Amino acid sequence: MLLARRAVRTAARTNPCRSFSASQSHLNQRKGLVLGVFEKEGGHHLTEAAAGFDQSLSGKLSELLKISGPALKKGKSRIFYGIHKDFPCVAVVGLGKNNAGVCGAENWDTSKENIRHAVSAGCRLLQDLEVNHVEVDSCGDAQSAAEGAVLGLFQYDQLKSKKKPKVTTQLHGSADSFEGWQKGVTYAEGQNLARLLMEAPANHITPTAFAHTIEEKLAAHAERVTVNKRSQAWIEQQQMGAFLSVTKGSEEPPVFLELHYNGSSDCQQPPLLLVGKGVTFDSGGISLKPSPSMDAMRADMGGAATVCASIVTAAALKLPLNIIGLAPLCENMPSGKATKPGDVVTAKNGKTIQVDNTDAEGRLILADALCYGHTFNPRAIVNVATLTGAMDVALGSAATGVFTNSDWLWEQLHKASVVTGDRVWRMPLFEHYSKQVTDSQLADLNNIGKYSRSGGACTAAAFLREFVTSPHWAHLDIAGVMSNKDEVPYLKKGMSGRPTRTLVEFAASLAHSG
């Protein structure tokens, strides 16, 4: 074993890729390769691409794997230097057991998750070595490999003077997997767009700036997409009193962003309606939040970010269905004009709401958006919001909470989440909770319910249900999955952009099921 370790160290010392300074030719190349290996009793089982690479080296890769230590566990990686003239650095990553498949206990496809995890680890390792171009083994699932690579390499450093090297990726090996790879890249870029919007500071992503960014992203699909940036005057004309009550404390004007993606050849096809909460900064209003971690409330527009990013992705994929996206965008700020606790406001459908807590503002803006959305006679409605801290308490970052009046819609969302690994979990919509929000001293509804702390995520969902008549509606509370520390290994620390890929997969499934 001592001899084996010396052999690996010698290979590392004699290869200039380790520092990228010993050889100008290697400095210019800065190319890397990520290959996968499955767990096998007593050793490794190479993927098809890794086996082909090994064969081209007359078995050198297999030999190095044997002498470099114990078998690679899933998500772990090992670097080899100087073993191939085109790739100064080769990262070999552990994929876990071959064909692990769908796990009912975990509610995801374990094989796909293992690939995402492993590929992201390999790509990051090469990025740390200042490699600027990486070829990636499909590992038997090119889409998952692409998602792992693109999601794993994302970082928000737009406002830093010193940035990490940008890394480009491409599929290594069989051209048969190219379509899956491209699909994975598109899915991951969609989630990264949501991460970009959520991570940006609130003075850079105001309601106006948010709407402008999405309009720019959709410009390439102008033949299929219509973007309407509705002004405050339009919002007032629509009598969206609940939405307007939230906007009153801020100097930033609200925007009601309306997106129409017409992907179906049947222009009469009822659209899928996606509605996202778009509070670009949430101070809590007069019911001011505690100052620690208030900066994270720049991402309180995560619902709008994931919804709009999903539509950008659907357009890029040319999905054959019609989608309408609605994003009420505003800030929730305290001022002399702000809504006061105890005020009563009137929603678009005429229902009055007693606002006992101005920090329960997301449900107010969604209420008016849901009322407006029904005018399009959608086939299904999905609203997405970082709505309640109670959701984070209930599920943490493991899954998005789903409240729905439709078993069919739940099944579709759940099926999509198993594929993406970005899980959902069904929560109750009992009449028990509805009674709590309709028992109000001054108005038809109370925005925090009778017992403000008990079942907070459930009472918030019950409040939204008061503005829904569609038989197929789902409310996704994404407060718990808004950010990532280390829970999802292929996402770096920061805003997560979840569950964008699940929304896209759900829309794609809907499109192809007719």
How confident is the model at residue 18, as a pLDDT? 34
At residue 513 the predicted structure's pLDDT band, cuts being 50, 70 and 90, is: confident
**pLDDT higher than 90, residue 373:** yes
Question: Could you report the per-residue pLDDT of 279-311, keeping only the tens digit for each?
Answer: 999 999 999 999 999 999 999 999 999 999 999
At residue 6 the predicted structure's pLDDT band, cuts being 50, 70 and 90, is: very low
Q: Is 485 exposed, middle or buried (0-12, 13-18, 19+ CB in 10 A)?
A: exposed
Token readout for 150 is 């693109």
CB atoms within 10 A of CB 495: 22
Closest CA to 285 of 326, 226, 327, 337: 337
Question: Could you report the per-residue pLDDT of 462-503, keeping only the tens digit for each?
Answer: 999 999 999 999 999 999 999 999 999 999 999 999 999 999
Closest CA to 109 of 98, 120, 101, 97: 101
Which class does domain 2-156+167-173 fall in? alpha beta
Lowest mean pLDDT among 66-70, 82-86, 353-357: 66-70
At residue 452 the predicted structure's pLDDT band, cuts being 50, 70 and 90, is: low
**pLDDT higher than 50, residue 104:** yes
How confident is the model at residue 174, as a pLDDT? 78
Contact 449, 466 (CB under 8 A): no
At residue 30 the predicted structure's pLDDT band, cuts being 50, 70 and 90, is: confident
Token readout for 127 is 């990025």
How confident is the model at residue 433, as a pLDDT? 96
**pLDDT higher than 70, residue 25:** no
Token readout for 158 is 């737009």
SS3 196: helix
* Amino acid identity, position 466: E
Q: How do the domains of the chain map onto residue ranges?
A: 2-156+167-173, 190-513
How confident is the model at residue 3, as a pLDDT? 32
Contact 7, 67 (CB under 8 A): yes
The span from the CA of 68 to the CA of 275, in Å, is 52
Contact 225, 218 (CB under 8 A): yes
Residue 78 among the catalytic residues: no
How confident is the model at residue 51, as a pLDDT? 96
Residue 382: left (phi > 0), alpha (psi -120 to 50), or beta?
A: beta
How confident is the model at residue 209, as a pLDDT? 98
Question: Could you report the per-residue pLDDT of 36-78, keeping only the tens digit for each?
Answer: 999 887 778 999 999 999 999 999 999 999 998 888 999 999 9
Q: Is 331 exposed, middle or buried (0-12, 13-18, 19+ CB in 10 A)?
A: buried
Closest CA to 261 of 299, 301, 214: 214
Closest CA to 435 of 470, 407, 466: 466
SS3 167: coil
**12 vs 183: which has the higher pLDDT:** 183
Token readout for 448 is 């925090």
Exactly one of 60, 76, 224, 289 is catalytic; name it.
Answer: 289
**What's domain 190-513's architecture?**
3-Layer(aba) Sandwich (3.40)
How confident is the model at residue 175, as a pLDDT? 81
Residue 275's H or E segment, with its range, is strand 272-276
* Amino acid identity, position 291: S
Q: Please give the average per-residue pLDDT across 219-248, as a whole number.
A: 98
* Amino acid identity, position 56: S
How confident is the model at residue 227, as a pLDDT? 98
Exactly one of 229, 363, 423, 501 is catalytic; name it.
Answer: 363
Question: Which residues, in sequence order, are CB contacts of 307 under 8 Å at separation 6+?
Answer: 274, 275, 276, 325, 326, 327, 384, 503
Cα Rg of the chain (Å, integer): 25
CB atoms within 10 A of CB 250: 23
Residue 289 among the catalytic residues: yes
Q: Please give the average per-residue pLDDT across 116-128, as a whole number.
A: 97
**pLDDT higher than 50, residue 313:** yes
Contact 485, 147 (CB under 8 A): no
- Give 338-366 as a DSSP string: S--TTEEEE-TTS-EEEES-TT--HHHHH
**pLDDT higher than 60, residue 14:** no
The span from the CA of 503 to the CA of 190, in Å, is 10
Closest CA to 420 of 75, 74, 94, 102: 102
pLDDT over 70 percentage in the chain: 94
How confident is the model at residue 488, as a pLDDT? 98
φ and ψ of 381, to 5 deg? -125, 130
The span from the CA of 504 to the CA of 312, in Å, is 10
- State the residue for tokens 């990264």: 192
* Amino acid identity, position 315: A
Contact 199, 301 (CB under 8 A): no
SS3 81: strand
Name the strands in the sheet holding 343-346, side by side, starting at the edge strand that comes first in the sequence.
343-346, 352-355, 445-446
φ and ψ of 156, to 5 deg? -95, 100
Mean pLDDT estimate for the chain: 93
Token readout for 442 is 């001054």
Closest CA to 331 of 357, 303, 298: 298
Question: Could you report the per-residue pLDDT of 257-276, keeping only the tens digit for each?
Answer: 999 999 998 878 999 999 99
How confident is the model at residue 17, as a pLDDT? 36
CB atoms within 10 A of CB 377: 10
